[in-house]
Structure 1
Amino acid sequence: MFDGKLTNIKNTKEGEHSSRSIVTAKITSNDKNFNYIIAEEFVDFVHDLFCIFGVRVSVQEWTISTDSDYLNGEVDVAPPAFVITGSEVNKQVQKIKDNFLDSEMSVFFYNLREAHGRSGSVHRFRSLFSIFDRLSEKTPKKSINYHKMKAVYSSEIQKLYTGHEYFVRFINCVDKLENAQLEDDYGNDYADKLKEAKEKLTSPYFINDQVAEYILRCIQVLRNRLNHGWFKGVTEGVVNAGYELLLPYVQKLINEKSTF
Structure 2
Amino acid sequence: MTIETPRPVTRYLSPGLFGGAACLGLLLAGAAAKADPGTGPKITGSIEQHWTTNALDSDRAVTDWYTLLRGSIDQQWGDADANARIHADFEASRYNRASIEDDRSLALSAEAFRRLEAGLELRGTLSYRVLSTGDDLEIGPLIIGTRELKQILSAQGQFGIDLGNATSLTIEATESIERVGDTHFQDDLISPTKLHADRILSQMAARLTRTVGEYAFGGSTSALLASVERVGFPPLQLSFFQYTAQAEAAFKGKDGSSFG
Taking structure 2 as the reference length, what is the TM-score of the superposition? 0.19
Specify the structure having the higher radius of gyration (Cα): 2
Structure having the larger proportion of residues in helix: 1
Taking structure 1 as the reference length, what is the TM-score of the superposition? 0.19
